[in-house]
Amino acid sequence: MASAIVRPKPKNADVGVTITVSDTKPREWRYVTATAKVTNYGPETADIYFEIGENNGVNQEISWADIYNLTLAPGQSKSYSYDSESNEGGAALYMAAKATVTNTTDPNLSNDFARTPKIVWQKYTPPVSEPSHLESSLIH
């Protein structure tokens, strides 16, 4: 009698990340806030190493990161925010978030990283105003 080999079904948890930013063209010396949401699409509970911070727009490395270790049951989500440094006009950067499942396999790695559009600080030029009637009379 031949016996069938029963292999256990692999355990995995598909974790995904999305990110938004409060402003992609802030005025110079203003802060911007990125908000990232990490979701466990299941089917298993996931232990997650999560980073949110600045990114160079080229790869998936995150600098100046806030780091969190969390556990999410299937269907659960958690959001985190990160405030940029204020920058002078012309400065540019990206913000990004990345999740790494540490206790099981993530079958879909393509949704574990998210990056904002490029953020470019705008030079502020104060408006030029015409002299008031009182200022005009003082000049003459």
pLDDT band at 62; cut points 50, 70, 90 = very high
- Look at residue 133 and tell me whether its pLDDT is greater than 70: no
pLDDT band at 126; cut points 50, 70, 90 = confident
How large a percentage of the chain has pLDDT more than 90?
78
- pLDDT number for residue 97: 98
Only one residue has tokens 């959001």, namely 79
CB hemisphere CA count around 90 (13 angstroms): 1
- Look at residue 98 and tell me whether its pLDDT is greater than 90: yes
- Look at residue 121 and tell me whether its pLDDT is greater than 70: yes
- Look at residue 137 and tell me whether its pLDDT is greater than 80: no
5-27 per-position pLDDT tens digit = 766 667 899 999 999 999 999 99
How large a percentage of the chain has pLDDT more than 70?
87
CATH homologous superfamily of domain 13-139?
A: Immunoglobulins (2.60.40.10)
Mean pLDDT of the chain: 91
- Look at residue 52 and tell me whether its pLDDT is greater than 90: yes
Contact 16, 77 (CB under 8 A): no
Closest alpha carbon to 122 in 93, 97, 77, 88 = 88
Only one residue has tokens 């200022």, namely 135
